[in-house]
Amino acid sequence: MKRFSFSVHLIFLVCQSVIISISGQEDTSNSLRHLYRPQNYNLEEIANSDTNKVNEQSDNVSDSIRAKHIQDSLYARQIFIRDSLLKRQLFVQDSILKRKRMIDSLQYLQKKLPVLLEAGLWLNSEQIITDFGKIEIIGDSVLNNFPYVILPFSFNQPYTPWISSVPLGPGSIKIDYKAPQGKISLLKTSRQNLSFEYPQAANLLIINEPGIVVTKTGKKFYKVPFDSVFFNEKGKIAKIKRYAHFHSANDSYQKGNFLFTHLYEVKQFDYNQDNTLKYYEVVSFCDRWIGTEASKVCTIVKYTVSKVGNSFNITRQNNPANNYSDGKFVYEFDNIHNLKFVTFNSVNNSDNWKTVIELNEKGHVSRYIYYVKEKVNNTLIFNYYLDDPKAKNKVEAISCTFEDDGISYYQKNITTGKSRVRDHFTGEWEPWQ
């Protein structure tokens, strides 16, 4: 009975415990339901809020990318400007260096060319050169022509034959330099074709000329001229000794074996204190065609030069003497270096003449008037067709012969070869034929 009561009591306690447990679970469930019960939220606001957050984050990202892009663009622009300025600077520096090198070269030529040009002009000149002009630099890239004044002994050329020049413009001159000295080794112009050597002696210059083929008694020789030019203490030419190497020449005009060396001319110069020419002498040696033949002087011509105002007085003396060509020349110039007239009186008065020069509006010779013993003997007229593209000849020369009555009855066109005569009674010219 007691065991039964205990069992019943135990069952009651267990059942009560179970009931309490179940009751506790219900309370707990109710409290949980209270904690997690959904509230009345506005879902659209939540969605907009989230979208704004995303957009805000997106805007922040876009602004960051945009700022980075602007920064990169600015940096690239800075690099471009820097590179452009650098390239421009390099271009300007290169241009300045090129211009400086060009000007340095022109200044070098301006200093060195006159000596070489003067020597080259004196080599083959049959006339007296009284003055050499200056070489000027035009702009910063071109040299002007090299002018010089001569005293001619013949008067039959058009234009202004007493004033000449060596063209030095682009395409008119060729110059080579010799390494390592950098000195001019070749000079080629319309007047000269010379190469140069510079010995140790400061007052000496060697000039080499192109070879030519000459014939004597049916035998061919290859002649190679070369010249020794000596300078005085002022840098003026004092003497020129002209030589030639003779070689054999074959039928195709090629240089063969060396034969001998011949001195064929010596020119000597003397100057006043102001470096103007005072004395000029030409010694010519007789031709030699055999190496064992002795050198002999053939002629000596001496010129004494003086200037008074615009006039040059030249005294010529030949050895052996020549009564017709020995005498005194007077060259009269105007204030702008135009030659007005020339007179000559031989030492024995056997030959006295005067040539008057008339110029046209362009400054070219229009007529030479030749006087012999104060009477007009002949004239030479020049007609110029420089502006006529159809003209066959740019210049025509017409010789007019005068008789004792001072009238010309005969004319000859030297250029075309045609001539005509004048009727003594009517004074009319016949047609050219």
Tokens, residue 335: 């204030």
In a domain, 323, yes or no: no
| Residues 165 and 216 occupy one common structural domain | no
Report d(CA 214, CA 249) in Å as an integer. 9
In a domain, 241, yes or no: yes
| Residues 264 and 228 occupy one common structural domain | yes
Beta bridge partners of residue 382, listed in sequence order? 397
Report d(CA 224, CA 220) in Å as an integer. 13
| Residues 204 and 275 occupy one common structural domain | yes
| Range 262-277 average pLDDT | 96
Binned at pLDDT 50, 70 and 90, residue 15 comes out as: very low
Decide if pLDDT at 60 tops 50: yes
Tokens, residue 383: 């007609």
Report d(CA 403, CA 409) in Å as an integer. 7
| Residues 279 and 370 occupy one common structural domain | no
Decide if pLDDT at 116 tops 90: yes
Decide if pLDDT at 45 tops 60: no
Measured from the Cβ of residue 418, the count of other Cβ atoms closer than 10 Å reads 13
Decide if pLDDT at 3 tops 80: no
DSSP one-letter string for 133-171 = ----EETTTEE--EEEEEE-S----SS-TTEEEE--STT
In a domain, 18, yes or no: no
Of residues 17 and 426, more confidence is placed in 426
| Residues 223 and 288 occupy one common structural domain | yes
| Range 287-296 average pLDDT | 93
Of residues 101 and 290, more confidence is placed in 290
In a domain, 321, yes or no: no
Predicted pLDDT at 73: 79
In a domain, 300, yes or no: yes
DSSP 325: T
| Residues 370 and 291 occupy one common structural domain | no
- 292-300: long-range pairs with CB below 8 Å, 24+: 295/262, 295/263
| Residues 167 and 207 occupy one common structural domain | no
Domain boundary among 171, 191, 219: 171
DSSP collapsed to 3 states, 343-356 = EEEECCCCCEEEEE
Predicted pLDDT at 194: 95
Using an 8 Å Cβ cutoff, are 151 and 127 in contact? yes
Predicted pLDDT at 249: 93
Domain housing 376: 351-433
| Residues 289 and 208 occupy one common structural domain | yes
| Tens-digit pLDDT profile for residues 182-233 | 799 999 998 889 999 999 888 999 999 999 999 998 899 999 999 999 999 9
Residue 370 sits in a domain whose CATH number is 2.40.128
Beta bridge partners of residue 328, listed in sequence order? 315, 345
| Residues 287 and 214 occupy one common structural domain | yes
| Range 316-328 average pLDDT | 94
In a domain, 325, yes or no: no
Instruction: Please tell me whether residue 53 adopts helix, strand or coil conformation.
Output: helix
For the chain, the domain total comes to 3
| Range 378-399 average pLDDT | 95
In a domain, 25, yes or no: no
| Range 41-63 average pLDDT | 56
Decide if pLDDT at 312 tops 70: yes
Predicted pLDDT at 371: 95
| Tens-digit pLDDT profile for residues 161-175 | 999 999 998 888 999
| Range 328-333 average pLDDT | 97
Domain boundary among 308, 338, 371: 308
Q: Which residue carries 């415990």 as its tokens?
A: 17
Decide if pLDDT at 181 tops 80: no
Predicted pLDDT at 234: 93
| Residues 232 and 292 occupy one common structural domain | yes
Domain boundary among 285, 308, 331: 308
Of residues 142 and 140, more confidence is placed in 142
Q: Which of 239, 241, 208 is nearest to 223 (CA)?
A: 208
Q: What are the two backbone dihedrals, phi and then psi, of residue 314, each rounded to the nearest 5 degrees?
A: -120, 125
Binned at pLDDT 50, 70 and 90, residue 324 comes out as: confident
| Residues 164 and 208 occupy one common structural domain | no
DSSP 386: T
Using an 8 Å Cβ cutoff, are 168 and 354 in contact? no
Measured from the Cβ of residue 342, the count of other Cβ atoms closer than 10 Å reads 22
In a domain, 364, yes or no: yes
Lowest average pLDDT, out of 49-63, 88-102, 226-240, goes to 49-63
Lowest average pLDDT, out of 4-8, 66-70, 248-252, 423-427, goes to 4-8
